[in-house]
């Protein structure tokens, strides 16, 4: 069912132990989690499920993202938050008993929390969507077993609160150039488009690598793309907020590629680093997540339960947090 590379990647994720997290020290309103949902394609290689956020959302409108959102209660664990939000956004059931017969979701690990500009501690949770032994007969070969997920389960992930659900090759988030059997990204004029673009910027009181990946838009096939027209970005929508507020939402039908960038791209790069035990072809931040910075902000009274009017996470705030915590 799985290639050797994919099997080894899953094994590394199962044994990964993250460092102590600040996530549980955050107030309820500052806790969030996202789901990195992996599944095998027909070749036994891992792919990841992504979404295009609805244009009507206040934050990160019209941007690519991992399924996820804020915690509901202090008792809710990150994986429970991620599964609940994935159900609300893409229709992934919260328990295996509610999945189609023969499928299950395995919780592999959690990664260090990331700091969003909206002052949320975002905990990435990695899971594997796979057919159980009962989903295919003994006579089925491994390719058929793998395609059981790609062809039978992924089409069931109907977008609810998002504009679209799509997938991307997981290993490619360590590559500077497009690799794989499928055609690579193209521009609006049909010419080849770069898979990866990156640049260094000042953020988190340090140099921060901004990754940009351009996912080829799949054919209008239910096995590759589920689209919710009512949530699609339109040219009349305001400029989105988020990690990179510069690009305005583009009318969904005209998008030749889906741009994955900012915190979402960084989370995927870090998850792939853990899974495949290798570093990217491109420059990147060596540390995982932002646990230290989240801890510093909590110590100086930021990330409080109630968001104050006009409160904005800036480089000056981060510098002050570093300065004040160094005195403690």
Q: Residue 294 in contact with residue 321, Cβ under 8 Å?
A: no
**pLDDT at position 300:** 87
**pLDDT at position 75:** 97
**pLDDT at position 53:** 72
**pLDDT at position 106:** 96
Which residues, given as ranges, of the chain have pLDDT below 50?
57, 60-61, 134-139, 221-223, 234-251
Q: Where are the domains of the chain?
A: 4-219+255-326
Helix (H) or strand (E) holding 306: none
**pLDDT at position 135:** 45
**Could you report the per-residue pLDDT of 126-159, keeping only the tens digit for each?**
999 988 754 444 445 555 555 668 777 887 788 8
Q: Is residue 141 classed exposed, middle or buried when 0-12, 13-18 and 19+ CB atoms within 10 A define those classes?
A: exposed
CATH superfamily of 4-219+255-326: Nucleoside Triphosphate Pyrophosphohydrolase (3.90.79.10)
């Amino acid at each position: 069912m799985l290639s050797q590379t994919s099997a080894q990647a899953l094994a590394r994720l199962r044994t990964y132990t993250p460092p102590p997290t600040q996530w549980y020290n955050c107030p309820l309103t500052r806790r969030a989690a996202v789901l990195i949902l992996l599944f095998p394609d027909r070749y036994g290689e891992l792919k990841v499920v992504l979404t295009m956020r609805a244009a009507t959302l206040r934050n990160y409108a019209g941007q690519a993202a991992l399924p996820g959102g804020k915690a509901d209660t202090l008792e809710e664990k990150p994986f429970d938050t991620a599964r609940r939000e994935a159900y609300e956004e893409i229709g992934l059931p919260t328990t295996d008993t509610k999945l189609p017969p023969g499928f299950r979701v395995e919780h592999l690990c959690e990664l260090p929390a990331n700091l969003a500009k909206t002052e949320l501690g975002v905990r990435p949770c990695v899971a594997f969507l796979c057919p159980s032994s009962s989903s295919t007969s003994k006579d089925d070969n491994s390719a058929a077993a793998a395609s059981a997920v790609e062809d039978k389960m992924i089409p069931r992930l109907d977008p609810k609160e998002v504009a679209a659900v799509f997938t991307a090759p997981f290993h490619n988030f360590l590559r500077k150039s497009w690799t794989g059997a499928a055609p690579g990204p193209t521009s609006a004029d049909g010419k080849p488009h770069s898979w990866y673009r990156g640049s260094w910027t000042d953020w988190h009181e340090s140099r921060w690598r901004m990754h940009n990946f351009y996912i080829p838009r799949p054919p209008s096939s239910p096995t590759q793309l589920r689209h919710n027209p009512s949530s699609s970005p339109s040219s009349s929508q305001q400029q989105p907020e988020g990690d990179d507020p510069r690009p305005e939402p583009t009318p969904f039908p005209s998008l030749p590629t889906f741009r994955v960038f900012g915190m979402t791209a960084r989370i995927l790069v870090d998850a792939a680093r853990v899974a495949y035990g290798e570093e990217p072809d491109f420059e990147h931040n060596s540390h995982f997540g932002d646990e230290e910075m989240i801890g510093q902000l909590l110590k100086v009274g930021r990330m409080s339960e109630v968001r104050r009017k006009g409160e904005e996470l800036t480089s000056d705030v981060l510098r002050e947090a570093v300065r004040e915590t160094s005195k403690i």
